[in-house]
Chains A and B, each alone.
Chain A
Amino acid sequence: MTISNLVKPWMIAGLLAVFAASCASTQEEFIVEEDGAPVDGQAQTGSVGDGSSGGADATGLADGDFGDGTAMNALETLEQEDGTMSVRIVYFEFDSAKLTSESIEVLETHGNFISANGEVTVRLEGHADERGSREYNIALGDRRAQSVRRVLLFQGASTDQIETVSYGEEQPAVTDHTEEAWSLNRRVELIYTVN
């Protein structure tokens, strides 16, 4: 087995998106890159909200496809550039692991997808903003990843399809010391692997 047939195109797309995000000079660019749907009330703006109505349509379509292998396979679903399944980050309030109702909706779609595709595994990477102590923040990132895990399990994903890991404040998406940067760093990222 060679590296080339292991690296799926969507993985490269994901890496590029992350790279683009880390290079993004403004918050707005970052949101557009990564957020197709409103996942965090605080971080959303009107323009991003506009984009999310298309996402809602795609959700309905994708939901119907998950149980039906002939319509769209897991890889194709993950390669979609818009729609709910393209939202791979959910955000949190300060010192909270509570999911917003918008995030729960997004994660339910992911849970259905994982449940319907046994060959898929997902790694949930929990993060925190830089304020306060590092140890507390890594625990907070763990709690956030666990919150996401619970929703995925409730939708029928299997425990051995999900791995959680917390990075605390060690790997911020944005390195500024502003409320806006912090709101983008309090997050859980969903990282898929198709086995």
Chain B
Amino acid sequence: MQLKKLVRMFSAVMLLGVLQPAHAALTIEIAEGVDGALPIAVVPFDTSKLSNKLPVDLAEIVASDLNRSGVLNSMNRAALPANPHYSNQVKYQRWRSAGQDYLVVGRVLEKSPGVYNIEFQLLDVLKQKQLLGRSMPAKTRNLRSRAHQISDFIYEQITGTRGAFNTRIAYVRAQKNAARKYVLQVADTDGFNAQNVLESDEPIMSPSWSPDGKSLAYVSFENERPEIFIQHLATARRSKVAGFRGLNSAPSWSPDGKFLALVLSKDGSPDVYTLNTATKRLKRLTKHRSIDTEPVWTSDGRAIIFTSDRAGSPQLYQVNANGGKPKRLTFEGRYNTAASLSPDGKFVAMVHGDKGQYKIAQYERETGNLIVLTDSSLDESPSFSPNGKMLLYASTRGNNGFLFAVSIDGRAKHKLSDQAGDIREPVWGPFESK
């Protein structure tokens, strides 16, 4: 018997159903408004008829969501010229004078204690007419989610693109001076409502969302080596799907949810494999003495983009999901890794290393253009929002990692800041099925 086996008995992980609230919430720091963003005023919703005060400020959540998009710029609440709750109370001229293009008004009605109906209207100030009006049922526990849905409706009405505010993100938090050093968490896209999925004394890495948003695949070192697990979020039920000798890393779900791409070194060097999650059948996709890692699927499921240093420095390659000869995609610079594909398949985000600086860059597949989006030096783990308009990434500042989101044109950037640990490897989850 070895010492480490004894140690292991004391270092068990804690599996958590997704209802376990996290102690530390993320909070948002918004950069100043973006030039050219469309002005919108979100008036506080009328809650005067409720028996109890709501635990959240719906209009505040909506205004903050819209700001983060970089497309809309919501008016400072203190500057609002009036406080209407219905469209027929609106004097459009006042909002026009205040420089607003759009106006959101709303109210919350109580059907029974803790059961509500939220009504809101999106108004076009210049045309003086309603663009959108909705009524939605809500309960105390899903008020934040309802607010994000309202943001999604507004965003889609104005931009024509589906909003991704009411989705979830996952990331790993490393915490100092805590009972368990590593925590896998999921949270709302504004960082609130963080919930623990797994706590461990050993590193947790590489969360990957299942396409239905119900499960996460991840790498856990709880057995003192990297192994891949799949965990169902609501039940905390999980299974180990890869625990081979050597490396078991970088799981990535296929768009149909039937396969995991992953990286194993059991046959020598790190290579990309696919695993049929039902039959457990493994298929080796790359066979090279170099490092092959970070597989991601194209949205049609037919190909996999991965990182390889087969030509001397790490670059992105594409290989058919059934195997074959990989084709090199990136040529600019000596370090291009960690691909994330836009949902329409037109863009590849990556970590781009240049002169010792590691930034998030975006590569347009058709033109081959590479645009650097960030200006810090230790950026990593880019992940597209499901509508393809934002990128979530991690950036090291001082001794901690922070989450940032940047619009794909690089103009709007915001930080999901937090004092309670070192946050890394964010991944943006899928749309909730309609």
Contacts and interface: CB of A to CB of B under 8 A. Distances in A.
A6 interface: yes
Smallest CB-CB A-B distances: 7 pairs: A133-B338, A170-B203, A139-B270, A133-B337, A139-B291, A165-B225, A139-B293
B6 A175 contact: no
B425 A95 contact: no
A171 interface: yes
A121 B2 CA distance: 10
Contacts of B265: 139, 142, 146
A142 B3 contact: no
Interface stretch (B120-128, B242-250, B364-372, B407-415): B242-250
A143 interface: yes
Interface of A: 1, 3, 6-7, 11, 95, 121, 130-136, 138-140, 142-143, 146, 163-168, 170-171, 175, 177, 193, 195
A137 B66 CA distance: 36
Contacts of B307: 133, 135-136
A146 B269 contact: yes
B3 A11 contact: yes
Interface of B: 1-4, 6, 203, 205-206, 221, 224-226, 246-247, 249-250, 263, 265, 268-270, 291-294, 307, 309, 313-314, 335, 337-338, 351, 353, 356, 358, 378, 380-381, 396, 399, 424-425
Contacts of B313: 95
B378 A136 contact: no
Given A6-B6, A139-B247, 9 more contacts: A95-B314, A121-B2, A131-B353, A132-B358, A132-B380, A135-B337, A146-B246, A164-B246, A170-B205
Contact of B335 (A11, A121, A132, A138): A132
Q: Among B291, B307, B378, which residue has the most Cβ atoms of chain A within 10 A?
A: B291
Q: Among A138, A165, A168, which residue has the most Cβ atoms of chain B within 10 A?
A: A138
A175 B399 contact: yes
Given A143-B270, A170-B205, A131 B263 contact: no
A70 B365 CA distance: 67
Contacts of B4: 193
B337 A132 contact: yes
B270 A142 contact: yes
A142 B378 CA distance: 22
B358 A131 contact: yes
Contacts of A146: 246, 265, 268-269
Contacts of A166: 226, 247
A136 B338 contact: yes
Contacts of B353: 131-132
A136 B351 CA distance: 11
Given A130-B396, A136-B293, A165-B224, A193 B2 contact: yes
A16 B3 CA distance: 16
Contact of A136 (B225, B314, B424): B314
A20 to B, nearest CB: 19
A193 B3 contact: yes
Contacts of A1: 1
Contacts of B356: 131
